[in-house]
A and B are shown apart, each in its own frame.
Chain A
Amino acid sequence: MTATLAPVLTRNWGTDRSWTLEEYKAQGGYEALSKAFAMKPEEVISEVKDSGLRGRGGAGFPTGMKWSFVPQDNPKPKYLVVNGDESEPGTCKDIPLLMASPHTLIEGVIISAYAINAHTAFIYVRGEVVHPIRRMQRAIEEAYEAGLLGKNILGSGFDLDVIVHAGAGAYICGEETALLNSLEGLRGQPRLRPPFPAVAGLYQSPTVVNNVESIASVPSIIKYGKDWFAGMGTEKSQGFTIYSLSGHVRRPGQYEAPFGITMRQLLTMAGGIRTGHELKFFTPGGSSTPILTADHLDTVMDFESLAGLGTMLGTKAMQVFDDTTSVIRTTLRWVEFYKHESCGKCTPCREGTWWLVQLLTKLEAGQGEEGDVDKLLNVADTITGKSFCPLVEGAVACVTSAVKYFREEFEIGYTTPAWEHLPYEKSALFTIADKEVRS
């Protein structure tokens, strides 16, 4: 099976000034919008439902179905919220999209808002990424100037305002209810569900929260049809998606392909592992998805196949690590991230990440004691399955999967510091001197 790319979302990323309205239109942009306005909102929902589009933010929930949950008889305003709080280690697909082709998202936003009858949409973008936020804001200005946003869009009678909101630096705000709290100016902590956002979301009004990539996929579905979309991919994971490869590969980057592609194919396209090295492990979908190893290279990268391996497709972010990498070090860095990003609301996450970091730090320094690996697993088990939201499960997942495949390496942490066992400079992609030159 040869690897085939299917550039839809990424198709225009390479063109000159791809982020401008002019260039986007020259590539056939906003054609889907006119087509959507000729349809009834519920027809748009059916089209998206039937295309098999599943949420690209990690959970893979069918997008059209989410839209159909919005109670249209609720007298309150409906809101569309686009989740662009991309903050997970490894995940890097939405921000390039905002940077390269913000109009793809805007077109998707207009069609999606039209489908759910929302007249205000928010694009919540991770606050640290200033350039994409500016691109997005400028693109929205252009869209308003061109009559693509505001009152009576393209004479359709449909009104829509779009607001870009910059987050304040919290991973948890990628969780949809925490995001809504943050948007409302409240503390970024997840809300109790039910009620679900579709019923009582932003300002207690019906709200759809979708990932950037999900919404950006909508124009192509409308333009080319559900069958075109559903014709790609596997039986239950239809269409195309962006795979993001990073780490010890020769050509890291975004690879847009239909579901069904294997890790081996993706790795080949990315130029393989650095010369002289072998794949040690990789994340299939960002740091919160349990890792896989070279044994899993032929796994089909879709929702079902990865679930079958006890992991998840997540955000399709493959962080690739070669044989120079210390798995203890990697795991500790990830868990430190979760500790830093824990919102503090619930006990397992707040206290559990605190504990895991201490256990792993000991192992990294070669100061572990006999039984510490079992204790690590035990503590992970203490934490898992009890939290308010899934954030801490990411921390648990990297620990348990790492121990599952590399237990011996963790046990070396009883006697030898990880940096002695696998010298850290060997896994660096750039030397310190290089870094200084580059900066």
Chain B
Amino acid sequence: MTETVPMAEMVTVTIDGTMVQVPKGTLAIRAAEAAGIAIPRFCDHPLLDPAGACRQCMIEIVDFGNGRGFPRPQPACTTETAEGMVLNTQETSNAAAKAQADILELLLINHPLDCPVCDKGGECPLQNQAMAQGRCETRFEGTKRHFPKPIPLSELLLLDRERCVMCTRCTRFADQISGDPMISLVERGAKQQVGIYPEEPYDSYFSGNAVQICPVGALTSSDYRFSARPFDLVSTVSTCENCAAGCEIRVDARRGEVKRRNAGENPEVNEEWTCDRGRFGFVSNRGEDRITKPMIRKGKKWEPISWPEALSIAVKALRKANDRVGVLTSGRLTLETAYTYSKFARTVLKTNSIDFRARPSSSEEADFLATQVAGRKDSITYADLEKAKKVILVAFEPEDESPMVFLRLRKAVRKKGLQVETLAPFMSRGSQKLGATLTLTAPSELPKAIEASEADADTIILVGEVLAQIPGGLTAVVDKVEASSAKMVWIPRRAGEIGAIEAGCLPGLLPGGHPVSDTTAVKDLEALWGTELPTTQGLDASELLKKAAQGDLKVLITAGIEAGDFRDSQEVIDALENTFVISFESRMSDVTKYAKVVFPVALLEETEGTFLNWEYRAGIVRQAINQQRTPLTEIRILAALAEALGSNLGFRTPMGAADSLAEIPIWGGAKPTPDKVKATEVPTLDKGQLVVSTWRELLDDSRCLDGADSLRATSRPIAAKVSVGTAKDAGLEDATTVRIASEKGSLILPLVLDPTMVDGVIWVPTRAKGHALSSIGVGLGSTVAVDSPDSKEGEK
């Protein structure tokens, strides 16, 4: 993409006789694209700094704009255009065509020409250009360069050095775009190769992009290698469900199975990148535990039953429950599915007890979402992030929580001098790569730090979802925005959270931002839906769980929730054990274990819908595969349940749900003014006590990543972090592991001393494999006891 800066000086360039106007300084290769002429290239990539390494894009410069030309062809990828330039490409210049054929010949002398067994064969720029521009026969009769192959760069990436053309797209991507220069060129001359430092694999969250931009078959992923041929794949442009970044992706399927996913091209969102989680983390529903038939639990045994039977059991339970029902959806649903649950709860179950927040949450957050987020007000966009002068990260780690936001911030830092400030307990790897200023902040001090931060109208405050766990945190953000005229945006982790808010999957919020507390708003929706709506405030997630645990909730409908995602997984289990659970799932889980009825649901790639990303931009999910025995969509099942309950949702398909939602205008009336929540006192810590700081790392024990073992192998080492001083105070200075204990249990994790860490705080990944904080009921801001498991004291 050519950056079109308004008011940029435009120059007129003649390429192959065609006159084009481009901003001055545009590279000749881009100017040619603007004229509709493709110049062959390998090292050139519009989002990377020019390298001029492969020399494939040679063109003839007839006139440099000063009346003089160049005697020999020049690379188009490093030639900047100037007024009056006359350029001839391979289309019109024999010299350019010869130069290109020459380079191609040289590139091929050491190439193994193993296209028939190469994964890239069929979609390979080298192959295509050799066919289009190359000579038919080789003149090289010597010995080719040989390397052992392939060698691993990480558990995910394999490198075939014989195929590599040294374009350095991968190393430049790693360095320039993601800031992870863990791959680099080593050796020189014909022995030059891409390599890693021994024992330090290329464990970047973005490594898959290197595979995608490799113009030959040198880089392959261990997950996709040898599993399909490009010409057998059917590509579908869709939207990634792994986070709220809203990446456009290309889903490649063969014979009813998704084989791989690549980043799509969406300059406004993910440009041409995506993260490894989005690229490789899509196999979790393929295992033996995939549910394809409705199931009923008898004791501890599961039995498949027919759809009519399952529906009638659910209906019976729901009828009996009356309004003592609740719905826990999750952040993974599409807008249409979330809306269906919302409408089902309100119009069929006649309850407002619905909450999508299957994660630590608070009523302060619900108010914040209803007043600050719901209703599609002028949202901040990726482009705004790039234009901002300063960004403040509040309880938000973009690299882990929204990788595309991270990449865009990094781009702005690199190219536009954006300043990033982070209110965090230590300098995370992501913050380091953003060159962020660290304002050391213990979790409980976040409200104060927000108030004290410097912000003006050119500042954007990015708020992470974990802030909900700090009382007064979100209130402080709202106050800060009012006081400073800074802009603010809340960036959730899950793809469906913004959609869930829009769909009204909150107890106090109806679709379109209509507050339950506003009679006009309720009346409006009653008119649209043609039915009476409950007016009592519903129960939120934690209230529902409490009620259920007490046996006061008769039926709980769950949609893709995970006990381990909440702050206290045992509380969830206690709740599930004491109510009638109807679970909508695609595979067996710790929730279905306690369910009475399980409805199998279609996978995302089997259905269609929309994800609203954090910008409120709609990303279209398209059906990528069409299975014969597909379970039904949740929308279809809910419609059937509604009908069996003598009601009618008015639609049975995602399209129908979308149409129904489209009829609901955005609430323009007054919004409730929530009470300001006061920050709690900073806790005084006894000896051996620390405050927990935590966020979810991109690659963790999330069940979405099940089956993606290579991907998981690239996750960051599991470790708790404390400051050197804190370690000393807690008697941990020589410890290699730490025991973290709450009333509910303890965890032992490897310990790392971080020199940038704030004192009195221990940082723990929220859901590392085997070390989920929720298993001991601990979250951000909790006070825990720590000691060394090696010490005698610890053995007591």
Binding site for B on A (CB under 8 A): 170, 172, 187-189, 192, 339-348, 350-355, 358-359, 375, 378-379, 381-383, 385-388
Contact = CB atoms under 8 A, between A and B. Distances in A.
A347 B190 contact: no
A343 B168 CA distance: 14
Contacts, number: 96
A387 B185 contact: no
Given A344-B166, A386-B73, A386-B102, A339 B190 contact: yes
Most buried by A among B99, B185, B190: B190
Interface in B23-68: 50-56, 58
A342 B142 contact: no
B106 A353 contact: no
B99 A386 contact: yes
Contacts of A375: 139
7 contacts: A343-B189, A347-B165, A348-B106, A351-B107, A351-B110, A355-B142, A385-B72
Interface residues of B, number: 34
A343 B53 CA distance: 11
A375 B190 CA distance: 21
Contacts of B102: 348, 381-383, 386
A378 B102 CA distance: 10
Chief secondary structure at chain A's binding surface:
helix
Contacts of B72: 385-386
Nearest to A359: B142
A383 B50 CA distance: 22
B640 interface: no
Given A192-B50, A385-B73, A353 B189 contact: yes
Given A382-B102, A385-B73, A348 B55 contact: yes
B109 interface: yes
B327 to A, nearest CB: 58
Given A346-B54, A347-B55, A386-B73, A355 B191 contact: no
Contacts of A382: 102, 105-106
B302 interface: no
A358 B103 CA distance: 18
Nearest to B78: A192
**3 closest A-B pairs by CB:** A344-B192, A358-B142, A342-B189
B192 to A, nearest CB: 3
B103 A348 contact: yes
Chief secondary structure at chain B's binding surface:
loop
Interface of B: 50-56, 58, 72-73, 78, 99, 102-103, 105-107, 109-110, 139-140, 142-143, 145, 165-166, 184-185, 187-192
Nearest to B102: A382
B192 A354 contact: no
A350 B190 contact: yes
Nearest to A378: B139
A187 B142 contact: no
Contacts of B103: 347-348, 386
Nearest to A345: B53
Contact of A187 (B78, B110, B185): B185
Most buried by B among A192, A340, A353, A359: A192
Given A386-B102, A388-B55, 18 more contacts: A192-B78, A341-B189, A342-B190, A344-B188, A344-B190, A345-B192, A346-B52, A348-B106, A350-B189, A351-B107, A354-B109, A354-B145, A381-B102, A382-B102, A382-B106, A386-B72, A386-B73, A387-B55
A346 B189 contact: no
B96 to A, nearest CB: 11
A351 B190 contact: yes
A29 B107 CA distance: 54
Contacts of B106: 347-348, 351-352, 355, 382-383
Contacts of A381: 102
A187 B195 CA distance: 13
A387 B109 CA distance: 17
B91 to A, nearest CB: 19
Nearest to A340: B189
Contacts of A383: 102, 106
B188 A351 contact: no
Contacts of B165: 347
Contacts of A341: 188-189
A52 B695 CA distance: 67
Contacts of B54: 346-347
A227 to B, nearest CB: 35
Contacts of B105: 382
A385 to B, nearest CB: 4
B188 A343 contact: yes
Contact of A347 (B73, B107, B139, B145): B107
B267 to A, nearest CB: 25
Given A187-B185, A354-B110, A347 B56 contact: yes
A189 B102 CA distance: 23
A283 to B, nearest CB: 22
Contacts of B78: 192
A342 B166 contact: no
Most buried by B among A172, A343, A383, A385: A385
A372 to B, nearest CB: 10
A378 B101 CA distance: 13
B504 to A, nearest CB: 54
A184 to B, nearest CB: 14
Contacts of B184: 187
Contacts of A359: 142
Contacts of B52: 192, 346, 388
Given A187-B185, A379-B139, A382-B105, A350 B51 contact: no
B109 A351 contact: yes
Contacts of B191: 344
A237 to B, nearest CB: 24
B188 A342 contact: yes
Contacts of B110: 351, 354
Contact of A386 (B55, B143, B189): B55
Contacts of B188: 170, 172, 188, 341-344
Contacts of A343: 188-189, 192
Contacts of B185: 187, 189, 344
Contacts of B58: 386
Contacts of A378: 139
Contacts of B73: 385-386
B189 A347 contact: no
Contacts of A346: 52-55
Contacts of B189: 339-344, 350, 353-354
A348 to B, nearest CB: 6
Contacts of A192: 50-52, 78
A385 B187 CA distance: 25
Contacts of A347: 53-56, 103, 106-107, 165-166
